[in-house]
Amino acid sequence: MASTRFRLRQRIREDAALAHAEFRAAGPADFPAPSDLTSEERAVYRAAATGYITLFADRPGVTLDIGKSVPIPEAGIEVAARPGVFLRCGDGNELRALRLDGTTPRLTDAIRHAVALLAGADFTPMRIVVVDLLSLETVTATIEPSEVAPSSAWVDERLAAWRGAIIGNAVNGAACLQCEFVWDCPIHRGAR
Amino acid sequence: MASVSKASSQGATTTATGSPNKDHGQIVRASPTSLAAWSWCARRYYLRYVLGLPESDAGASTDEGRRVHAILRFVHTQGGCRDADVVHDALVTHNCDTEAMRSLLEQHRARCPREVDDEAHDVSRARYHHKPPPYFLATAELDTVWIHDGLFDIRDYKTGGSAPFELRDDVRAQVQAWVWAPRAAARKLRLRLRYEFLSPEVVDEPDPWEPDPDDVDAIEEQLRATVEDIRGSSFVGVADAVTCRRCSFRSICSDSAAPGEPVWPVLSLDPGA
Contact A51, A16 (CB under 8 A): no
Percent of chain B surpassing pLDDT 90: 72
Judging contacts by C-beta atoms under 8 Å, the chain A residues touching residue B122 are: none
Q: Is the pLDDT of residue B162 over 80?
A: no
Q: Does A51 touch chain B (CB under 8 A)?
A: yes
Q: How confident is the model at residue A122 (pLDDT cuts 50, 70, 90)?
A: very high
The string of pLDDT tens digits covering residues B217-241 is: 999 999 999 999 999 999 999 999 9
Q: Which residues of A touch B137 (CB under 8 A)?
A: 176-177, 182, 188
**Over 90: is that where the pLDDT of B266 sits?**
no
Categorize the per-residue pLDDT at B5 as very low, low, confident or very high, splitting at 50, 70 and 90.
very low
Tell me if A176 and B139 make a contact (CB, 8 A cut-off): yes
> Quick one: closest CA in A to B137, which residue?
A177
Closest CA to A100 of A5, A4, A31: A5
Short-list B192, B82, B208, B93, CA closest to B147: B192
Report how far Cα B186 is from the mean position of its chain's Cα atoms: 24
Q: Tell me the per-residue pLDDT of B72-116, one tens digit each, with 9 for 90 and over.
A: 999 999 989 999 999 999 999 999 899 999 999 999 999 999 999
The reply to whether B29 touches chain A by the CB within 8 Å rule is: yes
DSSP letters spanning B67-87: HHHHHHHHHHHHT-TT-HHHH
> Which residues make beta-bridge pairs with A85?
A96
- Quote the minimal CA–CA distance from A56 to chain B in Å: 14
pLDDT tens for each residue of A57-68: 999 999 999 999
List chain B residues with CB under 8 Å of A12. none
Q: Are A191 and B143 in contact (CB under 8 A)?
A: no
How many other CB atoms are found less than 10 A from the CB of residue B167? 23
pLDDT at A178 over 90: no
Q: How far is B25 from chain A (nearest CA, A)?
A: 6
Confidence band for B26, pLDDT divided at 50, 70 and 90: confident
Q: Is B218 helix (H, G, I), strand (E, B) or coil?
A: helix
Would you call B3 an interface residue with chain A, using a CB distance cutoff of 8 Å? no
Tell me: pLDDT of A175 over 50.
yes
The minimal CB distance from A173 to the residues B51, B126, B131 is found for B126
Interstrand relation of B151-158 and B190-197 (parallel, antiparallel or unpaired)? parallel
How many Å lie between the alpha carbon of A109 and the closest alpha carbon of chain B? Answer: 24
pLDDT one-digit tens code per residue, A25-46:
999 999 998 888 999 999 999 9
> Which of A155, A154, A188, A143 is closest to A77 using CA atoms?
A155
Chain B residues near residue A54 by CB distance under 8 angstroms: 265, 267
From A100's Cα to the closest Cα of chain B, the distance in A is 7
Determine whether the interchain pair A44/B54 forms a contact, defined as Cβ–Cβ distance below 8 Å. yes
Look at the pTM and tell me if it is higher than 0.80.
yes
Query: Does B17 or B148 have the greater pLDDT score?
Result: B148
ipTM: 0.86
> Is residue B175 a contact partner of residue B30, using CB atoms and an 8 Å limit?
yes
